[in-house]
Structure 1
Amino acid sequence: MFFKHRNPHAVEELGNQKLLELIYNVKDSWDHAKETEHAVYEGQVDNELYSRTKLQEQKYLYLYTKARRNHLHGYLNDSVIKQ
């Protein structure tokens, strides 16, 4: 009664937008970690660098799966359009 929203889905939509923003941020950090790993000579890649890259990948895949369960659709990334 006191806390009725005019749009009952507004809170859900806001959460979905924040989830999409988080997914894009994690994807950027994963791409950066991959580039850093490739920039270092392959024989000198230490275990910590490899672990950080895998951690960013797992974060991205977890958030991506969560977005798929919520049937979220994002926007096209600029890097996809350029290719």
Structure 2
Amino acid sequence: MSEDKIDDPKQFEASLQALETLVDQLERGDLGLEDSLAAFEQGIRLSRGCQRALDQAEQRIRILSEPSEDAEPEPFAGATAPPPSD
């Protein structure tokens, strides 16, 4: 996984799982110095990508939660239009 933008929940979950695996490997202490450094670097990239995805999700929630005085109600896409009033 790279540090690319994570915009899919499945990609986020996969990145998080990969990060957990790296942490487990590092905590066991089975890796040599070079492998530990490579795992640490990969973990940092994954961590940053996950953090960006979480920040973007938080921003979307804030935008959706803020009341807007200029917002006009729109019919739900799956709803049928009410019958015209005479």
TM-score, L = length of structure 1: 0.51
> 1:67: Cα distance to partner?
1.4
Tell me the amino acid that sits aligned with residue 60 of structure 1: C
Q: Of the candidates 58, 70, 81, which is equivalent to residue 68 of structure 1?
A: 58
Q: Distance in 2 between matches of 1:65 and 1:19?
A: 14
Q: Of the candidates 9, 12, 15, which is equivalent to residue 26 of structure 1?
A: 15
After superposition, the C-alpha distances for 1:8-33 in whole angstroms (9 at most, x for unaligned) are: xxxxxxxxxx6222222211111111
What percentage of residue pairs aligned between the two structures are identical?
A: 2
Tell me the amino acid that sits aligned with residue 18 of structure 2: S
Q: Distance in 2 between matches of 1:20 and 1:48?
A: 26
- In structure 1, list runs of 5 or more residues that go unmatched: 1-17, 72-83
Q: Distance in 2 between matches of 1:19 and 1:68?
A: 15
User: Does structure 2 conserve the Cα–Cα contact (< 8 Å) formed by 1:33 and 1:53?
Assistant: yes
Q: Distance in 2 between matches of 1:45 and 1:61?
A: 26
> Rg larger in 1 or in 2?
2
Q: Of the candidates 46, 56, 59, which is equivalent to residue 56 of structure 1?
A: 46
Write 1 or 2 for the structure with the bigger share of helix: 1
TM-score, L = length of structure 2: 0.49
Mean alpha-carbon deviation: is it higher for 32-41 or for 54-63? 32-41
